[in-house]
Structure 1
Amino acid sequence: MSASASPAALPPPLRDEAGGLVTTTADPYGAPPVGGFHLSDVLITLRLRWMPLLAAFLVPAALGIGAGMMAGSRYVAESVLLVQVSRESTGAQDLTGFGQSVVSIEILKVSRSEMEILRSAEVLRAALRAAGPDRLFPGIPQVGGANLERGVEALGRALKTEPDTTSNILRVSLTMPSREAALRGLSAILDAYMARRAAIFTDESSRLLMTEVERYGTRIRGIEEQIRQVRTQYGVLDIAQEIALTSTRRDDLLQRENRTREQQAMTQAQLAAAESALAAQPRRVYASSEATNLVPNDESRNTLTRLLQDRQHMAAQYAPDYPGLRDLDQRIESLRTAIRESARNTYSTTREMRNPNLELLSSRVVTLKLEQESLERQLAELARQRGEAEARGEALLGADRQLRDLTRERDGLEAISRQLTAREAGTRIDEEARRASRPGIQVVQPPAAPLEGRSLKLVLMAGGIAFGLAAAGALGLLLALTRRIYATPEEAERGLRLPALAALGNLAPSLRDLRPVSGVEDLVSLICDTRINGRRPQLVQLVATGPNDGRDELGRALVLAMARRSPAADIALIDLQSDGRGHLSALGSQPLDVERIPGHVMVFSTVVENLWVSHQAMQSDLSNPRATREETETLLGRLREAFALVVVIGPDRSDNYAMRRLAAMVDANVMVVRGERTRGDQARAVRDWVLGSGGALLGFAYTGYRRILPGFVTRFL
């Protein structure tokens, strides 16, 4: 999209009653995006990631079509076996009379047993040797070694056995590339199976019985040795007597412990009563009292006497109508009235002394506490002794269980040994009978194969295409669910819960020609119309959400648009992520070699008359963590006095304290979100620390905007 393209359709900003813009506050501290999962997210993902999706479809589809083209005809040779219940699979009455008379058996289990023997590696190996690996599998010419094992695995995959659940029929089939190989291989497998089955059911029970008799004798001697070791370990001769003695001692200790607990309860009750009585006793008791109508330290009568003496002296020297004499008479009369009033009151004094019952009850409480502590120690000792007795009882019970188990096991082994000894003599006759019996497997149908084979070309092709569609769909859904970048302003609004202030395309061509950009003009108008605490923001910071998010171009476009909008006002661009040479060079200027004032921002003029650009602003107090807040406020105040609008381009990493402080001290913050590049979690983290630092966040500017979906699709969604 060119730089002059109009921005995407965005919701109108909110305005107050005076017509100014109202700032919105995002959800605090990383709340998840609202709106859920949209169909447009899937379509946008398909548009952005069409090459992996196409590869996910083409690879399985090509493999399926290639496999179908390469697949040849297959021939299936089949044979039917009849599984019969014979002396090999039942416990029918043997000739010696010592075996079982009747044992019921399920024919399905017999069929499955025969099937496992047929599919065993030993049978397949013998069949492959007999038929010849080079005739069944031309790619395996050698007979021995690893090639033979690979031939056995291939023959096992081609062999299929299927027992009939409603009858005693077992179907065996072998699938091979040629009809001759299928017939030859299945015949070799059946011959090897019959030979292996005959070897398996060769019975040598007499030798096994003799071995078992010797083994059981060894086990009986070992159990007798274990019985002797258990008795020695627990130091008992009569286990029942030891258990009875231990139980009696445990009961005696339990009774003593109960009596001690009763005594402890009585002591606790007495202690509680004594403490309650002690708490109820008053600290002092009545001793004596006295009453009087004289107020302590009352000087009224003495004062009256002095006033009478003064009047007598004054009456002798002055006339009766002298004012001082009248005033003295009033004072005398008032004092006499106060004396008469105070004479009516009566005062009493009561004396108390310490309660003598306190000492008696205190000594009683101390005695009961000592007795209670003694009972607790006695209970602890009784509990320890009872624990030892219980542990001894548990150990004896364990020894009794071990002895009973060992004795029971020894008795059982002796009984089995006697039975084995009795049956060993008659087993030899039964072995001869088993050798002479007929086999339990009969071949009903010899190996046969159809004249025409079958092919899986269409199935493989259709399966490859279906798998490719499924893989592409699953990959598309996975990419849509795991996509973290914002591809449209609407996605950024849902994810950040902030208004999109502008949606801008590629600004570089317009900035090279110093042409105005419509989207930037709208953003400048929005900033000028915004009122925060009743005034227009002068210091606006472009907050970074990641490297290469378009802050440079956006900041330069903003100050150019503001300079054209207000030719008489000075506009400044402060870059905190670079030294500013790029902006100066683009605007036809360069930094001069002048002395820098530590902590201040150095700005230089450009070809635009009222536009100034900073140089090495990252060395100022704006981004210096060692600068105090007062120093930063002073610098910002000077910038407000010198310029009508200051656009600050924040650094790539803005999570330090200096930038948090700056975000809270500037008038407004605008996040810069780069389309198809900014990650949602990083943008939400930047939003959270800006709001957490107390900064005013107007919204975000969307850079790198381009139309991803067609217009009719967007209107339909």
Structure 2
Amino acid sequence: MSQAEPGQSVARPAPSRVRPQLGAADLAQHLWRAKWLMLLVFLPLFALGLFAALILPERYTATARLLVSPETAAQAELELLRSPVVLSAALDKVTLAKAFPSIAAGCAGDDCKRAGAEALGAVLTTQIAPGGRAIRLGLTHPDPVIAAELLNALTRAYLDYRPAILGEEPALGFGAQRERFEREVADAEAAIRTYLADNGLTALEAERETLRRLYEAANLQLIAATSRQAQLEAELASYRRKLGAIQPDQTLYEEDSSRERLQELYIQREELRARLAPTAPALRDLDDRIARIEGLLSNQEQTAGTVRRGPDPLYQEVQAAIARLEAEVQAAARQQAELHAQIASLEARDQQMRELAPGLGELHRRRDAAAEAALTYARRAADARARSDLAREGAGDVRLLERAYVPLRGHSLRIPAAIAAFLLAGLAALAVGMMYAFSQRGFVTPRSLERTVGVPVLASVRHH
């Protein structure tokens, strides 16, 4: 730094506005200097907080316990316990004006119920005991009697509402579903009857079974008729061959006396031989007559007398048999034609039933499905009613283990509120002190100057 000439003024640099860098000691020094300001902020705030804490009312907590079965989900029971329906039912038992008079005075209508349920839910505490077999309930209220009364009303409303929501209402819902499916069953039955009537049926399966039996019987009859016709045709051919070998007429009797006369002559000759000599003229004359007759008979091819002829009975019998067999063959042919027509009709009917079977099967499946669903919902409704009865009788999944009694000792938030007021007032005073410390521009300690300008301080002089 150059020395100034005698008689000349020394040029001074303009001071720069540099913010001091403060350390812990510097902050402590500034805070100590601002102690009265901090006290001025701390004391009013602490006094106000302490006053607010002292006027806080004393509150009482009533407790109760519920016992749940191992199969019951305790968390689901808590949700049911905190439902707005249960809270509103509890307030209806105690009345909102008695439980929360400030809310009742400032609302009307449904808003009161909603606000009261929210307020009751805010003061209700629930906790699941270790093991999940019990639920602990707590309800806090400035009036110990109302606290116990509200909690008992809440547990009673819960125990009343639980069977209704888990038992009767599901049972009613199941019953409604059962009735709906029963109506579907009735509609399906009506549709089946209409379907059968439109197609000329009474019962498809029974008629198909009857049709099958008729078809089998017709086939058996056709086989028998075919065999019978073949047998008749064979007999007819045999009789026709036999008829060709039989004459239609036969000789009934013949009128011829030559042989009888010849026999008489034989007898006379024997008588004459016994009486006459062989050369007697009468005996010779008789021999000549016998010889002539024998010669005549030996030369004749046919009987000389009258011959009567008539129809042969065997021929007529064969003809009658042929006529009978022809009639039977024609009857067998007609029977086969009728059986063929009957079988064709049965096959057409069977094809029609086969075409109708899918639609009818779909209707039957709809009816069976609706019947099964109706039966299922009937069983569920019965189970739900049984659970409802058990819950109503106190033997259900949840039972009241300990009802709420009027609490004898209350608790208050005065001490925590006073501590909170002290801490808040202290934080406000400290904030004011810090603001004072960081707003100062001077250097309260040599270390602050060294830290700010980066030059060591050799000595310091206390300024008075």
TM range (shorter): 0.3 to 0.5
Task: Output the TM-score relative to the length of structure 2.
Answer: 0.45
Q: Which has the higher helix share?
A: 2
What TM-score, normalized to structure 1?
0.30
Greater Rg over alpha carbons, structure = 2
